[in-house]
Amino acid sequence: MKVLIVDDHPIVLSGCRTLLAETGDMVMLEARSAQAALDAYTAHRPDVAVIDIDLPDVSGFELTRRLTRRDSSARVIVSSMNDDPMLAAQAIEVGARGYVSKSDEAQAFIGAIRHVYAGGTYLRPDVAEKIAFLRGSGDQVPLSVREREVLRLLAKGRSMSEIAALIDVSYKTVATTCAALRAKFSARTPMQLIRIAVEQKIVSSPIGLWIGHELSTALSII
């Protein structure tokens, strides 16, 4: 089985290389950017691709969209340091067949790859339960996949120019989305927008519950 690991962290790649080698039946391919991943996928046609959300050129969500658009049978698992069920739900919405957290046990990671390779969809039971609850209760504010992604990146301190590059849209599109988000949340300022989104658990809280200098600088230009 050929497994493409898409991640720009050398330590993660090294750990995956060791882990997959121990299985005896998995061959690891690697890419450190979305473009390199697209090239590797075209050249080697991996059986499963495991894609990190945070990539240096475009987001893992956008890469998943592109891969599944090119190949509707692509088996993609999205990975992240965060086990937020909203991220898992978004991964499934953009075409992934699984979601794993980097804090999961090694055997769970291998099990996810095997399950998706066999044609299944993989979510940790507790994450799947949370997603079902969220969908059952409904969002306080209905959001599109793009709006969720823009909010997530804003909460990480990304500027509008950076977000446009990461999700492969124009600066104007991001600006329009930000304006629409502020209107939906009745937020007067970008900081208030993020605070409301965090309170409603639509995005994860910034580290340490901060709206620090870096985030303030990024948001000030929106």
CATH for 87:
3.40.50.2300
Q: Note the pLDDT of residue 205.
A: 58
Average of per-residue pLDDT across 89-111 = 93
156 versus 221: the higher-pLDDT residue is 156
Average of per-residue pLDDT across 126-138 = 72
Domain with 184, as residue range(s), is 145-220
Pick from 81, 109, 136: which residue ends a domain?
136
Q: How many domains does the chain have?
A: 2
86 versus 33: the higher-pLDDT residue is 33
110 and 154 inside one domain: no
36 and 61 inside one domain: yes
Inform me whether the pLDDT recorded for 131 exceeds 60: yes
86 and 188 inside one domain: no
Q: Note the pLDDT of residue 188.
A: 84
185 and 129 inside one domain: no
Burial label for 118, CB within 10 Å (0-12, 13-18, 19+), is exposed
3-class DSSP state of 135: helix
100 and 47 inside one domain: yes
Inform me whether the pLDDT recorded for 58 exceeds 90: no
Please state the pTM of the whole predicted model: 0.76
Pick from 74, 107, 136: which residue ends a domain?
136
70 and 153 inside one domain: no
Q: How distant, in Å, are the alpha carbons of 54, 70, 83, 93 from that of 124?
A: 21, 27, 9, 16
Inform me whether the pLDDT recorded for 127 exceeds 60: yes
35 and 59 inside one domain: yes
CA 72 to chain centre: 19
96 and 161 inside one domain: no
- As a whole number, the mean pLDDT across the chain is 85
- What is the number of H-type helices and E-type strands within the chain? 11, 5
Inform me whether the pLDDT recorded for 210 exceeds 80: no
Q: Note the pLDDT of residue 204.
A: 62
Decide if 76 contacts 62 (C-beta within 8 A).
Answer: no
Inform me whether the pLDDT recorded for 64 exceeds 60: yes
